[in-house]
Homo-oligomer: A and B are copies of this chain.
Amino acid sequence: MPNGGVVKSTRRVTIRDVARRAGVSVQTVSRVLNDHPDVSDATRARVQRAIAELHYQPSAIARSLITRSSGVLGVVASGFQFFGPARLLAGIERQATELGWQLMLRVADPSTPEEYDRIAAALIAQHVEGVIWAYPELSSERERAFRAQVETHAPIVFLSMEANPGDAVLSIENRLGARLAVEHLIERGRRHIGIITGPLNLWSAHQRKLGWQDALASAGLPCTELQVIEGDWSAESGCRGLRQLIEQYPRLDAVFASNDQMALGVLHAAHQLGLTVPRDLSVVGFDNVPESACFIPPLTTVHHDLFALGQLAVREMHRVIQARRAGKPAVVSPLMLRPHLIVRESS
């Protein structure tokens, strides 16, 4: 019966209650719970019946205190209003659940500096056995401070970040992806290719810009700062970006937008300006969000699989933790996933 959420504040049913009811010791109940062999079938059945009758649920907290392993991974993420981070988080969650890990979620807001200390402290307090740093950018010094705090307690995996030597970073090849996109524009005969970047303090945004430069340089095409506008991932910034770009670089005949949302903004602005895509202007995006196939016109874009990256991160973490429990030293091995181009009608 619905009771409006009134909780009876009864004491929690413990292993002791089960033991009493089954007429055995707590240790025997513990053995049943953990599938240890040294229990006769008869007592095992009795204990299991008591467990069911009392609706007993073991306490992971008490267990992790004594076993010194919590079964919890910490995830530091942010910006899941964006497609990438959301997919990443989904992949992490899926794999974690499959391998039996719980997830403690923190959202890092890169604004305040001492917040990272608080996050580290909170994760350590919760006895997380591993930390997955998903997406939020870290300056080198902050990263060092964070690692110094956390790493004596738990290994860390960094995702989509700059890889300093020795870092455990998993990522997609942003630079390659951008190069593929721009090379494609060049193949289609475009010669004056601008870029709208993400926030350039972000490593991934910076890498995509480098990929754009790579492609232009090796084709001997113009590559100046006049062709660059820094956006903020939002469609609106893509819209503004195109206007500015055309103003400061009128010969523009193609744009590489560093994500699909900004590409949408570019398409929008082009439409407003009376430019026909792709005749007057080619546009390529990055991310391959599901909607990009329904843009007007459908967007050529770079596909990458962040769901898989998230899964991979958890698997790596799992491997390392398991190995260490067995006493062997183990480190996360860095890895880069290759993106590929999806050609549609905007180019």
Contact = CB atoms under 8 A, between A and B. Distances in A.
Interface of A: 1-10, 12, 55, 57-62, 64-65, 68, 70, 72, 75, 80-81, 83, 86-87, 89-90, 93-94, 97, 102-107, 121-122, 124-127, 149, 151-156, 164-168, 234-236, 238-239, 261, 264-265, 267-268, 271, 290-291, 293-296, 298, 320, 324, 329, 331-332
Nearest to A332: B5
Contacts of A105: 75, 93, 103-105
Contacts of A156: 5
Interface centre among A1, A57, A235 (most CB of B within 10 A): A57
Contacts of A236: 290, 293-294
Given A104-B104, A236-B290, A236-B293, 11 more contacts: A2-B167, A4-B166, A4-B168, A5-B331, A7-B153, A8-B152, A60-B126, A61-B127, A90-B107, A93-B107, A268-B298
B154 A7 contact: yes
B7 A152 contact: yes
A268 B295 contact: yes
Given A61-B65, A97-B107, A268 B294 contact: yes
A298 B296 CA distance: 12
Nearest to A122: B102
A261 B265 CA distance: 15
Given A80-B89, A294-B236, A5 B151 contact: yes
B290 A234 contact: yes
Interface centre among A62, A126, A238 (most CB of B within 10 A): A126
Interface centre among A4, A68, A154, A264 (most CB of B within 10 A): A4
Given A97-B106, A235-B291, A125 B60 contact: yes
17 contacts: A2-B165, A2-B167, A3-B166, A5-B151, A7-B155, A57-B153, A61-B64, A81-B86, A81-B87, A102-B126, A103-B105, A236-B293, A239-B294, A261-B290, A268-B294, A291-B291, A296-B296
Nearest to A272: B296
Contacts of A291: 235, 261, 264, 291
A94 B80 contact: no
A43 to B, nearest CB: 23
A291 B107 CA distance: 23
B65 A324 contact: no
A121 B60 CA distance: 10
* Ranked 8 nearest A-B pairs via Cβ: A2-B166, A60-B125, A4-B331, A235-B294, A268-B294, A235-B291, A105-B105, A57-B124
A80 B105 CA distance: 14
A326 to B, nearest CB: 12
B7 A151 contact: yes
A200 to B, nearest CB: 21
Contact of A264 (B65, B106, B294, B320): B294
